[in-house]
């Protein structure tokens, strides 16, 4: 039986490993194109293709006060540079890319968790 999905095993930002919250299920996008297909007036098909960004969203990080994880992430959100991301899954799949922060960065005072999204030109499977 093959494994089709599962937990995220490792998440690194510029080589720094951050702790993933238990049972986090992020959505990964590998870039390419979005396609919209519609009928034309004479019954043919018309397609519109637009580029889509690669990356991930919905990744929940458990921040640690001792290692200043939230401040580390906030500095990335404050900057305009991309960061190198490596995301490893329990299935053995590994994704990597140079990504930019996307959306708001906020931390729950209850759990210390931060939900992040990052996008860029490519986020490719390397293993």
pLDDT at 4 over 60: no
Helix, strand, coil abundance in the chain, percent, nearest 5:
10, 55, 40
Distance CA 48, CA 73 (A): 36
Bridge partner list, 24: none
**Predicted structure pTM score:** 0.86
What band does 127 get if pLDDT is binned at 50, 70 and 90? very high
| 8-125 CATH fold | Elongation Factor Tu (Ef-tu); domain 3 (2.40.30)
- The percentage of residues in the chain with a pLDDT greater than 70, rounded to a whole number, is 95
Would you give the DSSP letter of residue 107?
Answer: B
Structure token digits, residue 1: 């039986």
Average per-residue pLDDT in the chain? 93
**pLDDT for the residue numbered 86:** 98
């Amino acid at each position: 039986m093959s494994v089709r999905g599962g937990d995220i095993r490792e998440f690194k930002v510029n080589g720094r490993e951050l702790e993933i919250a238990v049972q986090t299920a992020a959505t990964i996008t590998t870039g390419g194109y979005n396609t919209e297909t519609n009928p034309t007036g004479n019954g043919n098909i018309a397609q519109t293709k637009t580029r889509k960004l690669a990356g991930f969203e919905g990744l929940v990080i458990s921040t640690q006060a001792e290692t200043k994880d939230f401040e580390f992430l906030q500095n990335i959100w404050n900057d305009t540079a991309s960061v190198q991301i490596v995301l490893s899954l329990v299935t053995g799949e590994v994704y990597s890319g140079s990504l930019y922060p996307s959306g708001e960065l906020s931390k729950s005072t209850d759990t210390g968790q931060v939900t992040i999204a990052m996008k860029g030109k490519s986020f490719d499977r390397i293993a």
